Structure 1
Amino acid sequence: MTSLSTGAEAMDGIYRYQRHIYDLTRRYYLLGRNELITLLQPPAGGSVLEIGCGTARNLVLAARRYPQARLYGLDISVEMLKSAERTLRNNNLEARVTLAQADATRFDAEALFGQAGFDRVFCSYSLSMIPGWETALQQAGKAVSAGGELHVVDFGSQTGLPDWFARGLRNWLARFHVTPRDRLQDAMAAIASETDGTLSFRPIYRDYARLGSIRLPG
């Protein structure tokens, strides 16, 4: 099993410099992130956890959209968390958003944040960067409280796009250690079945990306 320090070093190596231009460049191809945030709809005073929060871009948008929500984020990369902390300071959100360093495949939410379950948990283009993504997805599901929801957006299989585009995209993403998870729907369906949850899943932008959610019974 990869240690926290080893995994963190790998991600820090990728993002030590990229983090400074991450949001500027990713806005053009990480499609569906805003749609996911719109779908969260946490209850008033509810809690929201992002797995792989990166620069905290999504947490800032969620904080603005849901001013009564309590927000949390974890990431394995210390370098990304530096950018996230700066982003929160620049938006005066330090008091509303709590960050922690952790491995998405084996984190203890109670130890990190003082609570084991959250009303909403989401993964935004993070599973495609995690080698043990299915384990990370299962861990995310375990962090959802009864009656809560797990939301995911990530790269699709590009089935509705030209073959040359799909091949080019995958080759380009591989340079950044990103791999579209073609089995994402199956993995989410398995979690929904195990938890008696309700799965919603759909491709967007001609399967450039996919949006999925699981609502757990209350």
Structure 2
Amino acid sequence: MEPDIELRNKKIERYYRLHSSIYDWTRWSFLFGREELLNRIPELPPNPRILEIGCGTGTNLTNLEYLFPDALIYGMDLSGDMIRQARTKVDKSRQITLVNGAYGDNKFNFEPFNLILLSYSLSMLGSQAEQIMKQVHRDLTSDGYVAVVDFSDTRFSWFQRWMKLNHVAIDGQLTSLLNRLFIPRLTQHKKAYLGLWRYLLFIGRRRPSADI
């Protein structure tokens, strides 16, 4: 792993060591669109394989289990503290497997997925974002979908600086990155708090490698 990426990952791990126990109590007030995105995922084939990158405390995993009761679901997170919180929600599930580690690490050798979900995790990847999304492209089946909900952009430089202190890039770059790698099925930008920022809902199908 490159030194700057390893340093960033360690910073994020430290951040969530402090925030993991209060995450569910606090994030509901600004992580908009998560349930809407899940409800708009297209029909998947029988017994689909699903991965959430940055699964956090496992809220999306339990909702995915409800929506796709025949699915095999993996939740992956860099933070061991977040994984421990998630385990309290999913320990009794036979469908859900939790993985503590960095997505893209060579030690994880996943079979292709029918759906890969990123919920407010892509904007935290910084310079890794393109590399990670190319790996997502490789890890999808030929007809697989990616689903993303995340911060998109803001008109206010002070808010952008504040979000950067919380390891979030809110610079309007995500949509163009996703469009390069995936054929859009859903692209929506919605205002939060009267336009303080916009968040993105995106669902796309894997582009053929020759088109990238």
Normalised by the length of structure 1, the TM-score is 0.81
Q: Distance in 1 between matches of 2:114 and 2:74?
A: 11
Q: CA offset at residue 143 of structure 1?
A: 1.2
Give the gaps of 5 or more residues in structure 1: none
Alignment match, 1:107: 105
Q: What is the aligned counterpart of 1:186 among 176, 181, 188? A: 176
Q: Kindly indicate whether residue 121 of structure 2 is the aligned counterpart of residue 120 of structure 1.
A: no
Per the alignment, in what secondary structure is the counterpart of residue 20 of structure 1?
helix
Say whether the 8 Å CA contact 2:52–2:76 is kept in structure 1: yes
Per the alignment, in what secondary structure is the counterpart of residue 105 of structure 2?
coil
Over aligned residues, Cα RMSD in angstroms? 2.4
Q: CA offset at residue 149 of structure 1?
A: 0.4
Counterparts in 2 of 1:181 and 1:67: CA distance versus 1, 3 Å: farther
Say whether the 8 Å CA contact 2:57–2:85 is kept in structure 1: yes
The amino acid that maps onto 2:169 is T
Question: Residue deviations 1:101-133, cap 9 Å, x none?
Answer: 2323x235xx64x64200101111001111211
Q: CA offset at residue 62 of structure 1?
A: 1.0
Q: Kindly indicate whether residue 78 of structure 2 is the aligned counterpart of residue 73 of structure 1.
A: no
Per the alignment, in what secondary structure is the counterpart of residue 136 of structure 2?
helix
The amino acid that maps onto 1:201 is T
Q: Kindly indicate whether residue 29 of structure 2 is the aligned counterpart of residue 23 of structure 1.
A: no
Q: Distance in 2 between matches of 1:101 and 1:3?
A: 20
The amino acid that maps onto 2:102 is D
Alignment match, 1:96: 95
Percent identical: 26
Q: Kindly indicate whether residue 187 of structure 2 is the aligned counterpart of residue 201 of structure 1.
A: yes
Q: CA offset at residue 199 of structure 1?
A: 5.1
Q: CA offset at residue 47 of structure 1?
A: 1.2
Superposition map of 1:121-200 within 5 A: 121-131=116-126, 132-158=128-154, 163=155, 166-192=156-182, 197-198=183-184, 200=186
Per the alignment, in what secondary structure is the counterpart of residue 21 of structure 2?
coil
Per the alignment, in what secondary structure is the counterpart of residue 146 of structure 2?
strand
Q: CA offset at residue 168 of structure 1?
A: 4.8
Give the gaps of 5 or more residues in structure 2: none
Normalised by the length of structure 2, the TM-score is 0.83
Question: Residue deviations 1:39-73, cap 9 Å, x none?
Answer: 22433311110111111111111112221111111
Alignment match, 1:213: 203
Alignment match, 2:39: 38
Per the alignment, in what secondary structure is the counterpart of residue 167 of structure 2?
coil
The amino acid that maps onto 1:29 is F
Counterparts in 2 of 1:215 and 1:151: CA distance versus 1, 3 Å: same
